[in-house]
Amino acid sequence: MSEGFAVCGRCGGRKADFDRVCPHCGFRPEGDGLLIAWLLSTRHRDTASLDAVSERIRGGETVRPSAKMLATARRALGRSWASDPGLDTRQRLALLATSLLVTPLVGLMLAVWWYGTKPRAALQALALSLPASVLFFALGVWLILT
């Protein structure tokens, strides 16, 4: 199993790993395409079944994995709640300090940025920066009113 490879979801050609640009057609899997790409690699299937899939793609077939297979890939790639480790303590403290001392916008932006790929980290960023946002808002109001 040391010689891993992946099959390009567009042309069926072989490439070194699922997240690489295909050397045959230049296709680069992104977003959910990465999930399909992972399913078409030796990380998920054996060589024989990948060769069969490659043959089918070359024959013009489009790869349409089931929702269950996509969920498997999502889990394996750390894009689901269950496998997202979230932020560690140091990262949370850094984010809290940034939110309080600089601007809570950083946390809010990270939350939006991570929303699709790191749900747990996104929620933590939001939880850390929201109170700071309220504080900044209150401070702003206080400064205006006094």
Closest to Zn ion by CB, 39 vs 87, is 39
Choice between 57 and 87, CB closer to Zn ion? 57
CA–CA separation, 145 vs 136, rounded Å?
Answer: 14
CA dist., res. 10 & res. 1, Å (int): 24
What is residue 45's three-state secondary structure? coil
Of the pair 65, 104, the CB lying nearest Zn ion is at 65
Q: Which of 2, 78, 11, 1 minimizes the C-alpha distance to 38? A: 78
Closer residue to Zn ion (CB): 25 or 135: 25
Comparing CA positions, the residue from 75, 73, 82 lying closest to residue 35 is 73
Among 5, 13, 100, 130, binds Zn ion (CB under 5 A): 13
Per-residue mark of binding to Zn ion, 17-56 (x: CB under 5 A): -----x-xx-x-----------------------------
By the rule CB under 5 A, 6 interacts with Zn ion:
no
The residue written with tokens 């939880």 in the block is 127
Listed residue (45, 49, 55) closest to 1, CA to CA: 45
- Quick check: 11 binds Zn ion (CB under 5 A)? yes
Q: Give the residues lining the site for Zn ion (CB under 5 A).
A: 8, 10-11, 13, 22, 24-25, 27
